[in-house]
Structure 1
Amino acid sequence: MLLVKENPDLVTHFCAQLGVKIPDGCAISLGSEDANDLRPVELTRDRTFVFTRPDGKVKFAVCLEVQLRKDGSREWAWPLYHARLRHDLRCPVAFIVITPDPAVANWCAAGFDLGRPGLVFRPLTCGPSGTESISTMEAAKENISLAALTAMDHGDDPANRPLLRNLCTAIDSLPDREKAARYYSLVAGSLSLFHPGCGWADHSMAAGSRNGLKR
């Protein structure tokens, strides 16, 4: 996911929010997205983040998946992603699913039976109810990626219209116009799919900014 790839500290935020303890003194970096075996089957994770100590020893990893809708194939692929990453890195691995859809969040949180009594693969799930709200202009500018995720999750609530305005202003403050355009595109795409009535597309500031970025 672009928002997390451009701001890996979001992974640390999600881990703290979900009660996952990261070993002290580790630096985070983007890991491989491939989980390929020698057999002719391709397995590609959304994003992998590796926590490494100054001596180079890998101490922890996070496999982060973004899931927009229920997909039965994930039940079989996700446990394999988790096991393969743990095997490759020889460290504990947290598997986190981010979704803007409450139904998908509930589906993930219910877990997947692995066949042995009590053995269930249950991803850590961050859905709309678990996403921290970024309500001030200062907070939005300080962490635009998290503000964008908040808007994507809570944009349908009329009480959060100030959140959309703050996000627009924060995005407009970015000196990198291509990056700003990507933020607008990601947020607009998510809101139009999950919260079409939120008013983002008709928001004068958002519309004007998008038009300006296209020129």
Structure 2
Amino acid sequence: MVGSSHEALHRIFQKDPTLLTQTLQRVLHVPFPKPREIVALNVDLTEIEPIERRVDTLMRAETDEGTYLLVVESQGKVDERKRGSWPYYLAYLYEKYRCEPVLIVITQSGTTAKWASRPIRFGFRDWHSMTVRPLVLGPDNVPMITDEYRAERDPSLAVLSAMTHGRGPQTPAILESLVAALKTIDYDTAAVYAQFVDSCLTHPQARQIWRDLMKTVQYFWRHPLAEQVREEGREEGREEGREEGREEGREEGREEGREEGREEGLIEGSRRMALRILEARRIPVPDTARERIETCTDLDQLETWAERAVHATDAHELFTDE
């Protein structure tokens, strides 16, 4: 599993190396030549001396115009030490591989992107012995994909969009379009991308929207993230069951309480999920529809309504076959 947004932001390019060069061309409008082949390399740049230095992702791109090293750094915040380590990385890699290194920085922060975009210059005012100009991908230049058709045409870019724009009023539309795109690719790749996005969504409401959407997608249940979400629901039910059992004070009461608590926890979670998806998509929920959802005790029916909420344009569409 991917444990952090730092890891996800650069590992998406390991999963789909062509996304990196395509993004340079389409987003930053850098005329990077079309690669014939891209190969991942060892990211360890440690020398014999006990100084450990590692880049986040390193790939070699073979093109008709030559061989390039693509150095990808995921940057969460401003860190002035990087203005010393980045030039070191590039000089070391050129010496080791004898081909041109290109530094790409990816961030979720507009402030960090602005800082990282500044050229790094060594020397005196009128003569620079070295100049490093990072290529930076961030919320200010990665496209915000909220349209399903566009997301389906380029699922990898839609994933990158969700990872860099995972907050704000457009978040529900971005995540919904991404879900539609992930349904068009193979299950295993979609599951990995789902984990990347989950790792990058640091805003609690955005992450909850994403997990609610994922519960309606078949491949999600094969991924470790699904087990985490299921376990959270089971623990909720177990806790409610334990509490009721304690109040009963009898073994029979405890067992019945656990079972009832588990069932009630799943039912209540499904009610909240259906309503939350509608609200996140800014679909009005009339009192009659809200009451119908909140009073329903049929778990299968509630899960069906939650699935329909992902694509519905009106709250009453949840009940179309009834």
Give the Å deviation of 1:23: 4.0
Comparing 133-142 and 146-155, the one that deviates more: 133-142
Between the aligned residues of both structures, percent identity stands at: 26
1:196-211 alignment runs, 5 A limit: 196-197=204-205, 199-203=206-210, 204-209=212-217
1:75 aligned to which of 79, 83, 87: 83
Aligned residue in 1 for 2:52 = 42
Q: Which amino acid aligns with 1:88?
A: K
Instruction: Give the RMSD, CA atoms, in angstroms.
Output: 2.7
Contact 2:145/2:177 (CA < 8 Å) preserved in 1? no
Aligned residue in 2 for 1:156 = 167
Aligned length: 209
Give the Å deviation of 1:95: 0.7
Give deviations 1:32-59, integer Å, cap 9, x for gaps: 31223232222211112212258xx952
Contact 2:172/2:209 (CA < 8 Å) preserved in 1? no
Contact 2:70/2:104 (CA < 8 Å) preserved in 1? yes
More helix by share: 2
Q: Which structure 1 residue ranges, 5 or more long, are not aligned?
A: none
Give the Å deviation of 1:166: 1.5
Normalising by the residue count of structure 2, what TM-score does the alignment of the two structures yield? Answer: 0.57
Normalising by the residue count of structure 1, what TM-score does the alignment of the two structures yield? Answer: 0.81
1:1-215 alignment runs, 5 A limit: 1-16=10-25, 17-23=27-33, 26-53=36-63, 59-117=67-125, 118=128, 119-177=130-188, 179-192=189-202, 195-197=203-205, 199-203=206-210, 204-209=212-217, 212-213=221-222, 214-215=226-227
Q: Which structure 2 residue ranges, 5 or more long, are not aligned?
A: 1-9, 228-322
Q: Looking at both structures, which has the greater relative contact order when contacts are Cα pairs under 8 Å and sequence separation is at least 6? A: 1
Cα gap change, 1:201 to 1:173, in 2 (>3 Å): farther
